A and B are shown apart, each in its own frame.
Chain A
Amino acid sequence: MTLGGGRTALGEVTTHNIKQLKKLNSVVFPVSYNDKFYKDVLQAGELARLAYYNDVVVGGVCCRIDLSEGQRRLYIMTLGCLAPYRRLGIGRLMLDHVLQYVEKDGSFDSIFLHVQVNNESAISFYQKFGFSIVETKPAYYKRIEPADAHVLLRAEQKTLRKTNEEQVNHPTVNGTMSNGPTTNNSNHHNPHQHYNGRAK
C-alpha cells in the first residue's frame, strides 16, 4: 500500500518489539499505561497492531473485548500515530483492520472508545467511520485537562449468534486468531526484525 509517497503496513506486536509500542504510546498519548496494559497487549493477537511507514514504526492500535453490561463489545484502548505521519492514512489503515476484525467475527454488538472532549480531530476521524458520541463522562481522566471524555460508539450488526459462552470468549476468525500470544512469528514488514534466535 502506498500513501503520501511511502509504503505502509501493519505488523504484529511481539515480546521482541513491544518496547517500540511503549515508546510510541509515551509520546502520542498524555496518559501513561502500566505494565499490565502491555502484558495484555501481548495476549491480544489481532487486536494489537503496529503501523509501519517506510519500514519505521509510526503508529499502534490496541483493543480488547469488553463483556460488561451483558454485551459483547470491542473497546479500542489506544489508537495513535506519531505527529509527522498524520494525515497519511495510517489511522485509517489501523481502524480498517479493527473494523474488518469485527466484521469477520460477526458477534460484536458495538465498537466503542473514549476521547478527550477537546480532541476534535479524533472525534471527526471516528465520525467518518460511523461512530457517534453517545455519552460524556465527566472527570474520566485523572491527570490531564480537560478531564472529561466522550464515549464514541458504532453499533454493529451481528451476523453470527454464539450461544456457547466459551466460544464467545475465544473467538476464532478464519481460524487465524488464537487466544494465546503469537510472538514467535517474524514480522515481514520490519527490516530490523530478523528473528534468528533460539527455538522457543
Chain B
Amino acid sequence: MSANPSLPNNRTLPPKEYALFKRILKCYEHKLYKNGLKFAKQILGNGQFAEHAETLAMKGLILNALGRREEAYEYVRRGLRNDLKSHTCWHVYGLLQRSERKYDEAIKCYRNALKWDSANVQILRELSIVQVHTRDLVGYRDTRNTLFQLKPAHRASWIGLAMSYHLLKDYDMSFKILDAFSKTLTIRDSYDYEKSELLLYQSAILEESGDLQSAKKFLLDHERDIYDKYTFHESICRLYLNLGEYGRAEAGYRKLLSMNQEDGAYYEGLAKAMQIADDPAAKLQLYRNVERQYPRAYLPKRLPLDCAEGEEFLTYLRPYLAAALDKGTPSLFTDIKPMYQNPAKVIQIGNLVESMANSLRDYGKFSKDDEKVASASALLWTYYYLAQHYDYHRDTDTALAYIEKAIEHTPTLIELFMCKGRIYKHMGDMNTAAQWMDEARELDTADRFINSKSAKYQLRANRVEAAAAVCGKFTREGASPMENLNEMQCMWFQTECALAYQRLGQLGDALKKCHEVDRHFTEIIDDQYDFHSYCLRKMTLRSYMELLRLEDVLRAHPFYFKAARCAIEVYIHLYDHPLQNKSADEQISPVVEAVFSDISIIYVTYAFQADRRHFHF
C-alpha cells in the first residue's frame, strides 16, 4: 500500500506523523496489529490529526484483521467520509469488503480507488484477482492489459495477460503473448522446470484451439526443454491419434508402456493406434505380446478378462482368479465386479469359483488335477469371494452360509465380519449390520478405514451418538468429535448424519448438517482465492487452469448432490407439513419459511446444474 505524501490538502501529514503512518502500513503488512494500533493512536491522539482519513481507514483495517468487524467498518467509513478522494481509503474499504466475500462491492471500491490513482499496481493486481475469482473474465482481461502496460518487465504481467485471453477462449492471442514472452527469456543451461511447464501450457492452448498440427509441431520442436516426460509423450500420442498418424501413435504408446505398464489408458491408446479397438481377438494377441515382454506386469493379465468371451474367457479367468485367491487379495471381488454387467460371464465366474471351493475343500488344490497345492488360506478367500458373489445377487441366505463357512475356517480375518455386516445391510437389517461392522472394528482398532465403516453403519442404524463416539477414537483429543469432523470437512459423515436425522424426524438437525456440507463447498471455492496470484508466480499454469475449471462445476460433485437432495426433501416436507403443536421456538415463522423456500430454490438450482452435467447417482 502506498500513501503519496505529495497529494494536497488534509491528506498531508507533517514528517513526524507521516513516518508514523508509514510504520502503521509496515505493521499491517507484518501482522503486528497491536503495534499498528499504537502508532495510529499516536497520530489520532493529536487533536490536529484526529480526523486524518487514511489513518482512520488503516486503523479500521487493522481492527478487521483482529476480528473486530463492526468497529472496523465504523473507522473505515469515517475515514472515507473525511476524504473521498483518497485512493488509500477506497483501497482499504475494498479490502474490507473483500474479506467478507462481498466481491462486487470490493470491485466498486477498487475502481473508485483507481479513479484517484489509476496507475496503482497493487490495487490493479487486487482488482484483477477479484475479477478472475468472480469470473468477470472481460474485466480481468482489461485489468491484465493495464497491468501489462504498466509493468511489461514483470513475468507475471505476461503470463496473466495470456491467461486472461485463454480464459476468453482467444487461443490465438494467448499463444502469441506467451510465444513473444518466451523469446524474451534467456536460455538457462540448467534444468528449468518452469520453462518446461510453460511450454506444456502453450501446447495445451494450441491443442484446445483445435490446431492439432501446430500443437504437435510445437511439442516436437521443444521436446528437449520439456522435463515432464509422461505429459509430453501422452500429449504427443493423443495428437498423433487425433491426427490419424497411427504409426507414430503406436510407437509413442509403446514407448509409454515401456515407462509404465500399469496405466490402462496406454493400452487403450495403443489399441486405437493399431486400429484394433473393436477387434477382441487382436487385442488379446496384443496383451499376450505385452505380457511376454513384461512378465511381471499386472494389467496384461487383467485386461483380457474384459474382452475375451466364452471358453476363451475361462482360460484367462481361471489362472487370474487362482493366483489372486492363492495369495489372498481382499479386493478381488471389487476387481472382478465390472464383469457382472455381462450375464454370461457372471454364470461362468460363479460356476468356476464354486468348483474351486469344492476342489480346495476336498484336495487342497484349485482343481483336482492340478499339481500345485494351494496355499492354506486359499479356501478361506474362495468362500469370501462366493459370499460376495451371492450377496451381489441378493441371495442373502447363500451369501450368509458362505461367510459362516469362511468364519469357521479363519475367525480372525476382519474382512469376513465386514462382509457379514454388508450382507445384513443389503437385507435391510441395519441394526445387525452395524453390530457386525463393529465386531470387525474391534478386531483392529488402529485401522481408520474400518473405524469409519463402523461409524457409517451406526448412522445407517440411526445411532448418531454411537457413530460420533466411534469416530472420536480418531479425531483430535480434547475436541468434540462432531465439531472436529466438521472442521476436517468430513462430508460423508455429515451427510450420513443428516440422513439419519431425517429418518428420525429431527429435521432441524438434518438441515444443520446439510448446511455444514454446503458451507464446505463455499469454503473450497473461497480457498481458490490465494491461488490466483500464487500460480502465476509458480508457473503451474496447467494445474491452475484445471483448478479454475473444477471450481466452476464444484457443486456438481456427488457429495453436494447427496446433501442437497436431503435438504430439499426436508424443506419440501416442512412446506407441506408445517410444524404444529410446538413451542414458539421450534415453530418455523413465516419469515423463516420464506428464507427456507429461497434456500431450497438455490439447492434445486445447484442440483439441476449437477444433473445437467451428466453426473449419475
A interface residues with partner B (beta carbon < 8 Å): 4-6, 14-17, 19-20, 23-24, 26-27, 53-58, 82, 84-85, 88, 186, 190, 192-198
Tell me, rounded to whole Å, the shortest Cβ–Cβ distance linking B478 to chain A. Answer: 10
Interface residue total, chain B, C-beta cutoff 8 A = 30
> For the complex, what is the distance from the CA of A71 to the CA of B288, rounded to whole Å?
67
Complex A-B, nearest 4 residue pairs according to Cβ-Cβ distance, in ascending order: A16-B446, A57-B412, A5-B375, A195-B446
A195 and chain B: residue at smallest CB distance: B446
**A58–B476 contact, CB under 8 A?**
no
CA distance in complex: A147, B326 (Å): 40
How far is it, in angstroms, between the C-alpha of A5 and the C-alpha of B449 when the chains are bound? 29
Give the segment of B10-18, B75-83, B376-384, B518-526 that binds chain A: B376-384
Distance (Å) between the CB of A57 and the closest chain B CB? 4
List residues of chain A with CB within 8 A of the CB of B448.
194, 196-197
Give me 25 A-to-B residue pairs in the complex whose CB atoms sit less than 8 angstroms apart, sorted by A's number. A14-B446, A16-B446, A17-B443, A17-B444, A19-B443, A23-B443, A24-B412, A53-B376, A54-B328, A55-B328, A56-B328, A56-B412, A58-B410, A82-B412, A84-B376, A84-B410, A85-B376, A85-B377, A88-B376, A192-B414, A192-B443, A192-B447, A193-B444, A195-B446, A197-B473
A15 CB contact (under 8 Å) in B327, B445, B450: B445
B537 on the interface (CB 8 Å rule)? Answer: no
B473 smallest CB distance to A (angstroms):
7
Q: Which residues of A contact B446 (CB under 8 A)?
A: 14, 16-17, 186, 193-197
Contact present for B477 and A198 (CB under 8 Å): yes
Which one of B372, B373, B377, B380 has the greatest number of beta carbons of chain A within 10 Å?
Answer: B377
Interface string of B441-465 (1 = CB under 8 A from A): 0111111111000000000000000
Return chain B residues, CB-CB under 8 Å to A55.
Answer: 328
Task: Compute how far the CA of A20 lies from the CA of B442 in the bound complex, rounded to whole angstroms.
Answer: 9
Majority-rule SS of A interface residues: loop
* A26 contacts across to B, CB distance below 8 A: 411
| Additional A-B contacts beyond A19-B443, A20-B412 (20; CB < 8 A) | A5-B375, A16-B447, A23-B412, A26-B411, A54-B327, A54-B375, A56-B377, A56-B380, A57-B413, A58-B410, A58-B412, A82-B412, A84-B409, A85-B377, A192-B450, A194-B448, A194-B449, A195-B446, A196-B448, A197-B446
Interface hub of A6, A190, A198 (most chain B Cβ within 10 A): A6
Give every chain B residue within 8 A of A196 (Cβ-Cβ): 446, 448, 474
Interface flag for B273 (CB, 8 Å): no
B376 contact set on A, CB distance < 8 A:
4-6, 53-54, 58, 84-85, 88
Q: How far is the CB of A31 from chain B (nearest CB, A)?
A: 17
Is B374 close to A, CB under 8 A?
Answer: yes
Give residues 432-446 of B contacting A (CB, 8 Å): 442-446
A172 to B580 Cα, complex, angstroms: 72
Interface residue from B373, B377, B442 paired with A53 (Cβ < 8 Å): B377
Q: Tell me the complex Cα distance, A15–B372, Å.
A: 39
Question: Can you name the residue of chain B whose Cβ is closest to the Cβ of A192?
Answer: B444
